[in-house]
Amino acid sequence: MDVKVTTLAGKDAGKVALSDAIFGLDPREDIIHRVIRWQLAKRQQGTHKTKGRAEIARTGAKMYRQKGTGRARHSSARVPQFRGGGRAHGPVVRSHAHELPKKVRALGLKHALSAKARADQIIVLDDLTFADGKTKALVDSFAKLGLSNALMIGGNEIDAGFKRAAANIPNVDVLPVQGINVYDILRRGTLVLSKSAVEALEERFK
């Protein structure tokens, strides 16, 4: 699959061939869904917690005598049915992460890239460098390319000027090629790859 390469200024910079083994698959929603669930579960903090009856700071003395009051028999004020008591079966600190085979993760990334390619939502730039470092100038460049909601994937290192200029632009994310992931690909409208990112992806999936 041949894709036109452009510059940030919107000028033609030749063509690049995208591998059909990475960008030409028939996207499977079930695999993409599994990978996104794995990603979101892994990053969930899991720090929500309530106190159980053993953690409540209250007296351990019996509330009132066992017999003769006409009321139910109670021993502790820490139990869940009383105001200020511990919560029964409440949330505890835990990890929400679950396992997903590496092959499925890799396949999910390929299918996400293929889904973008099939929807004609991939743009290849010759490089992601921006010497000016000014946000306004980069916004003008994006307007020429028709970019308003995009994920920008650079090479192994992102140019400091480009990263600084793009930091304050809403709905634009910038990642090195090592950080490319299914969730970020699908949450943005357009996927913008540099030529070095395309080469790195093809090397990765050899």
Predicted local confidence at residue 131, as pLDDT: 81
Question: What's the average model confidence in pLDDT over 186-203?
Answer: 94
88 and 155 in a single domain? The answer is: no
Domain boundary among 65, 93, 121: 93
173 and 196 in a single domain? The answer is: yes
Q: Is 13 helix (H, G, I), strand (E, B) or coil?
A: strand
Predicted local confidence at residue 58, as pLDDT: 92
Number of domains observed in the structure of the chain: 2
Question: What's the average model confidence in pLDDT over 17-46?
Answer: 95
Are the beta carbons of 205 and 106 closer than 8 angstroms? yes
164 and 178 in a single domain? The answer is: yes
Domain boundary among 93, 128, 161: 93
- pLDDT at 11 exceeding the cut of 90: no
* Residue count of the chain: 206
Predicted local confidence at residue 149, as pLDDT: 95
40 and 9 in a single domain? The answer is: yes
| Strands 12-17 vs 2-6: parallel, antiparallel or unpaired | antiparallel
Q: Which tokens is 144 given? A: 């020429």
Predicted local confidence at residue 13, as pLDDT: 84
**CATH code for the domain in which residue 176 is found:** 3.40.1370.10
Q: Would you state the torsion angle of the CA atoms of residues 122, 127, 131, 133, taken in this order, to the nearest 10 degrees?
A: 30
CB atoms within 10 A of CB 92: 10
- pLDDT at 56 exceeding the cut of 90: yes
Question: What's the average model confidence in pLDDT over 3-8?
Answer: 90
133 and 159 in a single domain? The answer is: yes
Q: Please, which pLDDT band fits residue 81 given cuts at 50, 70 and 90?
A: very high
Q: Please, which pLDDT band fits residue 173 given cuts at 50, 70 and 90?
A: very high
Give per-residue pLDDT as tens, 95-147. Answer: 999 999 999 999 999 999 999 999 999 999 998 988 877 899 999 999 999 99
33 CB-side CA count, 13 A: 3
pTM score: 0.83
- pLDDT at 2 exceeding the cut of 90: no
Predicted local confidence at residue 94, as pLDDT: 95
121 and 65 in a single domain? The answer is: no
Predicted local confidence at residue 77, as pLDDT: 94
The domain in which residue 83 lies consists of 47-93
85 and 108 in a single domain? The answer is: no
